[in-house]
Amino acid sequence: MAQLTQEFFKKILQMEGGFQNMPDDNGNYACGQLIGTNMGVSAVALREWWGRCPSVEDMRNLSQKQAFDFYAWYFDRANLYPIENQELFEFLGNNTMGSPTAAARTEQKVLNRLGYNVAIDGQRGPATVKALNAAWTRDPNRLWNEIRAEWIRYLQSINKPQFLPGWMSRLNRHYPEKGTATDNIIWLAPLAVLALLLITRK
């Protein structure tokens, strides 16, 4: 089963950075006020976790331990820990940080295209998780690439052009398409060396 490791948490910190409060980002608002985000923890999600409205100072002073504990709660709430593969868990976790409902709907749309009959309801329930694990076992590259492409379509549909380059840079750097030309080069390089040795022996 997957888990929130310190390595993954460090990657989250690297991707998200520290405190910011951008007025055109809906995730920065809670209880009708501009609160901001910190380490990727949105004001809305922090309110749900704490059960009260956070202040700007609360968000500014959020500690790394609090952020880690938040993500441990957040990923459990999104039913991500039953994902069997750690790499898939982290990829889906990244999308879930953007929007848990949209991330689950993205997965469900892809699963249906791959022949798994799951409800497209934006809730990552047991049936969706079971299908994700089965699809990963069957063809991990295809599942990864299809979810990635569907997630990009979702990001483009938000109509926030000022954020899209950053979102795409994050995907390309940390969650690139699988089976790309670079991957093929890595696998083909040993074969090329072997072929060269065989030629020189003749």
Q: What is the pLDDT of residue 191?
A: 45
Whether the per-residue pLDDT at 134 is higher than 60: the answer is yes
Of 91-100, 105-114, 169-178, 183-192, the one with minimum mean pLDDT is 183-192
In the predicted structure, residue 195 carries a pLDDT above the cut 50: no
Structure-block tokens of residue 193: 């060396």
Amino acid letter for position 17? G
pLDDT tier for residue 180 given thresholds of 50, 70 and 90:
low
d(CA 152, CA 150): 5
pLDDT at 14 over 80: yes
How much is the pLDDT for 46? 97
Q: What is the end-to-end Cα distance of the chain in Å, rounded?
A: 51
Total-model pTM: 0.86
Distance of alpha carbon 164 from its chain centroid, rounded? Answer: 15
Mean pLDDT of the residues in the chain = 91
Residue 188 has pLDDT above 60, yes or no: no
pLDDT at 1: 85
How confident is the model over 99-103, as a mean pLDDT?
97
Q: Per-residue pLDDT tens for 32-84? A: 999 999 999 999 999 999 999 999 999 999 999 999 999 999 999 999 999 99
Report the percent of the chain where pLDDT is more than 90: 85
Which of helix, strand or coil describes residue 16?
A: helix
